[in-house]
């Protein structure tokens, strides 16, 4: 008998939300079949069966919030007694000492061995594609996949059904989240929406972040001429370097700068303990159809600009097609979030505890300053640094932010 527990996706997650069930009680499953999807404020993934059998019991429903390491369902053979299965039968929670030891190592855990499925296997479909195909009786054996590693996405199934897919979306023809009818109620011209489970988790974690840390945000500008010129030069490259973006360059500068400011590349694990990390494991906020996800670029300080750019693209694609692994979402020591692409000129990014810092990338505008040669009209980039004032004071945090800006202003020398 297999007890399937709610996995812990990162050390600071205490609960996750069941997105949707892919099976029901009484269904027979094979090892590797998808059981249910889970959602947190940072990640989305599918939990797969580790043994074959019948789904004997499901303890939760769609959108339920489930504590990590708690039994979600039981797989076995018909007739087995599951009446005594409780949360105590789940895997043991890691102790505080074990968590601290893991954080001190700051080493990415071994990547689980990927199982390469044959095209005819249903597990080769994303959960959304599988559900859509089943609902519409679509034969998926002849569908050409567009997802990572040959994964069939929902958009592929839609194309097979002869329906148009939005040109700027690989995921769905629906660009805005659909509110289920049972979560929407209209009364006297007022529409009442019940919060989904994932929205409740986001709200809880944001409140916890603000309530448990002393957050302060500083803003600073820099001359973006060098990175813009470097970007134009890269566009002329015949190789993959032409795809390097301004965001990639800022991430690169942050990773290189953090090497010299270990007090920003840190975790505050308690009111009495700080952990400083040698490796820069850079969390990067990615906007997806499921919501905000934050994959981690491990050892970002050792990567070249093309390597970092390629790794970010790979992780972002995995976030969007649902193939991201828990290990690829964990162990971040610092985070970068970008709203500048939406035209935002300044914002207050919220910390991801126990990290002590997060940088927000703002839009590049134009400014004028007086120089010895006269007035200079130049592209002005802006960064917003939120830090935990319990761990870092204003002056040291400002030195770090100034160093990032200086590295962006001499980016050609940095690379």
**Per-residue pLDDT tens digits for 119-167:** 333 346 766 677 778 877 888 877 777 554 466 766 677 767 765 444 4
**Per-residue pLDDT tens digits for 391-414:** 999 999 999 999 999 999 999 999
DSSP 283-350: EE-EEETTEEE--EETTGGG--HHHHHHHHHHHHHHHHHT---GGGGS--SEEEEE-GGGT-----PP
Question: In this predicted structure, what is the pLDDT of residue 97?
Answer: 42
The mean pLDDT value of the chain amounts to 81
Question: In this predicted structure, what is the pLDDT of residue 290?
Answer: 66
In angstroms, what CA-CA distances link 73 with 32, 58, 80? 15, 4, 14
Mean pLDDT of 214-235: 95
d(CA 280, CA 257): 10
Looking at per-residue pLDDT, the higher value among 92 and 2 belongs to: 2
d(CA 371, CA 104): 48
Mean pLDDT of 276-286: 95
d(CA 53, CA 51): 7
Tokens of 398: 């400002």
Rounded percentage of the chain residues whose pLDDT exceeds 70: 77
Looking at per-residue pLDDT, the higher value among 159 and 23 belongs to: 23
**Per-residue pLDDT tens digits for 95-111:** 444 334 444 443 433 33
Task: Check if the beta carbon of residue 380 is closer than 8 Å to that of residue 366.
Answer: yes
**Per-residue pLDDT tens digits for 345-396:** 999 999 999 999 999 999 999 999 888 888 989 999 999 999 999 999 999 9
pLDDT at 277 over 90: yes
**Per-residue pLDDT tens digits for 34-70:** 899 887 655 667 888 989 999 999 998 887 878 888 8
- The enclosing H or E element of 2 equals strand 2-5
**Per-residue pLDDT tens digits for 312-358:** 999 999 888 878 887 888 899 999 999 998 899 999 999 999 999 99
pTM over 0.85: no
Looking at per-residue pLDDT, the higher value among 85 and 246 belongs to: 246
Ordered domains of the chain (ranges, CATH): 2-76 (2.40.50.100), 208-413 (3.30.559.10)
Mean pLDDT of 285-303: 88
Cα three-residue angle 134-135-140, rounded to 5 degrees:
35
**What does the chain come to in residues?**
415
Question: In this predicted structure, what is the pLDDT of residue 73?
Answer: 93
Question: In this predicted structure, what is the pLDDT of residue 42?
Answer: 57
């Amino acid at each position: 008998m297999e007890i399937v527990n709610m996995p812990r996706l990162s050390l600071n997650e205490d609960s996750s939300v069941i997105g949707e069930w892919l099976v029901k009680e009484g269904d027979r499953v094979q090892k590797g079949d998808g059981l249910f999807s889970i959602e947190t404020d940072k990640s989305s993934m599918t939990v797969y069966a580790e043994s074959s059998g019948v789904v004997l019991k499901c303890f939760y429903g769609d959108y339920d919030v489930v504590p990590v390491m708690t039994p979600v369902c039981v797989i076995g053979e018909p007739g087995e007694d599951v009446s005594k299965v409780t949360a105590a039968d789940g895997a043991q929670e890691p102790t505080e000492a074990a968590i601290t030891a893991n954080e001190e190592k700051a080493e990415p855990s071994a990547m689980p061995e990927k199982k390469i499925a044959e095209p005819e296997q249903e597990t080769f479909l994303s959960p959304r594609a599988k559900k859509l195909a089943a609902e519409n009786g679509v034969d998926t054996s002849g569908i050409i996949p567009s997802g990572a590693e040959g994964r069939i996405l929902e958009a592929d199934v839609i194309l097979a059904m002869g329906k148009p897919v939005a040109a700027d979306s690989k995921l769905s023809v629906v660009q805005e989240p659909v509110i289920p009818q049972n979560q929407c109620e209209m009364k006297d011209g007022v529409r009442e929406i019940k919060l989904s489970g994932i929205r409740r988790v986001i709200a809880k974690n944001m409140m916890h972040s603000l309530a448990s840390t002393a957050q302060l945000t500083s803003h600073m500008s820099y001359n973006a001429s060098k990175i813009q010129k470097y970007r134009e030069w890269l566009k002329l490259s015949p190789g993959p370097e032409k795809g390097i973006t301004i965001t990639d360059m800022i991430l690169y500068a942050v990773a290189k700068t953090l090497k010299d400011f270990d007090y920003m590349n840190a975790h505050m694990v308690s009111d009495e303990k700080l952990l400083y990390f040698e490796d820069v494991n850079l969390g990067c906020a990615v906007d997806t159809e499921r919501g905000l996800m934050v994959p981690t670029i491990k050892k970002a300080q050792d990567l070249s600009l093309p390597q970092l750019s390629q790794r970010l693209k790979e992780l972002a694609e995995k976030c969007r097609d649902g193939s991201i692994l828990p290990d690829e979402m964990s162990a971040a020591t610092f985070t970068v979030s970008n709203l500048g692409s939406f035209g935002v000129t300044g914002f207050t990014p919220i910390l991801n505890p126990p990290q002590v810092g997060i940088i927000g990338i703002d839009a590049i505008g134009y400014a004028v300053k007086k120089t010895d040669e006269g007035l200079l009209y130049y592209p002005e980039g802006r960064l917003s640094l939120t830090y935990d004032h319990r761990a870092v004071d204003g002056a040291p945090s400002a030195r770090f932010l100034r160093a990032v800006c200086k590295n962006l202003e001499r980016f050609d020398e940095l690379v």
